A = this chain, B = another copy of it.
């Protein structure tokens, strides 16, 4: 039973969203390009019974036989691929059929004026009566790649791989954009949830479920506005997983209201309360994903002291600028570290901190190792343009991560193919990698920001 109190009481039925045994697609279609077909393309990846529901459907769609009604199935999760006016009947049918969770893709509800608000209220009432957890309406759905759950109409989602960043986006469009951006850069997601109009499932219900999952390394939130701000802040405070938040909709309230029916709230209030609750605020999708990736993989640093090794001074200078401007420090290295560095006989172009090797070289990994083990260093940062004759110092980094429990940020540049392959090997060591000086510097700065 759903109750709105000072603490979120999660629907019992929310487990049907996160771990369904079988799935019904209401309004399924055999015609490519239709919403009910796009949804089937993604859902067919699920490793369990899938029921395309459509009284006018005949035969099969992607190997699953049409049925006339949800009540003929044992589905506990239903995808509602029907227009708004049909939703109340579909929800009742779901409730009678024992469905615990429904994903409602269609729009035309609270975001669309008085009639829509009434329709949404009807849906909410029916959901309360049958204890149905509704994701949406007006959502792109959700995915949990590790469970082969692709509950969305978005073409291409069935190829998204499993990763450690979970995304909870008020806007499905932001969730989809973010998911494909991670995918393009060679990463998967732990999950993506588009909340849409949040009829009875909001940030505060989804966050604890993701926080409980071992798959989740960090949770990224995209917020336009919510009536349940205190509960959302509370959920962020209780999460053991790092949380990153992007608040948008500060300039165009009327556009926001027409989108997800969000209330108009000041950015400053979100920033203050979410930061106070331990969240990290970000201002773009790239920042949201990079902050989440670095926090998902890294141990918590002890302080703001960066040990920085670069193979190219120019990008290194830019990164040092950025980090100094954000309050991070470059401590002096100990005499022991200097002795180790001197032993390499490399004639460094700059051997203070930052340490500049001038160009990629076979000893690059050993130089990182020496700086990383320095007792004055809390955060290890490296920058290197890839050269195929040298590769990246994967073996040295593996040895280092076996011994030293400090965050390491490895920043790369160079030709595309090399980056994709070699970065993956470093990521597998638990070291987050970033392309280009500003993204590596930003990631290092987030490590410090997250403990302030």
Contact = CB atoms under 8 A, between A and B. Distances in A.
Interface in A282-327: 284-286, 311-318, 320-321, 324-325
B177 A385 contact: yes
A259 B436 contact: no
Nearest to A156: B415
Given A173-B312, A180-B414, A222-B314, A438 B285 contact: yes
Q: How many copies does the complex hold?
A: 2
Contacts of A314: 169-175, 177, 222, 224, 248, 259-260
Interface string A354-391: 10101000000000000000000000000001011100
A250 B320 CA distance: 9
A155 interface: yes
B258 A155 contact: no
Given A177-B436, A314-B170, A255 B320 contact: yes
A252 interface: yes
Nearest to A249: B317
Contact of A173 (B174, B256, B284, B313): B313
Contact of A416 (B183, B254, B413): B183
A146 interface: no
B107 A318 contact: no
A180 B315 CA distance: 13
Interface string A29-54: 00011000000000000000000000
Q: How large is the interface on A (under 10, 10 to 19, 20 to 34, 35 or more residues)?
A: 35 or more
A317 B174 CA distance: 10
**A-B pairs, 4 with minimum CB distance:** A171-B314, A173-B312, A251-B324, A173-B314
19 contacts: A107-B349, A107-B358, A154-B385, A155-B389, A156-B415, A171-B312, A173-B314, A174-B318, A176-B385, A177-B385, A180-B385, A181-B436, A183-B415, A184-B415, A184-B416, A224-B314, A248-B317, A252-B321, A285-B438
Interface of A: 32-33, 107, 111-112, 154-156, 159, 169-177, 180-181, 183-184, 222, 224, 246, 248-252, 254-256, 258-260, 284-286, 311-318, 320-321, 324-325, 330, 349-350, 352, 354, 356, 358, 385, 387-389, 413-416, 419, 435-438
Given A111-B349, A172-B314, A249-B317, 17 more contacts: A154-B385, A171-B313, A173-B311, A174-B312, A177-B437, A180-B385, A224-B317, A251-B320, A251-B321, A251-B325, A252-B317, A252-B321, A255-B350, A256-B317, A259-B349, A259-B356, A284-B318
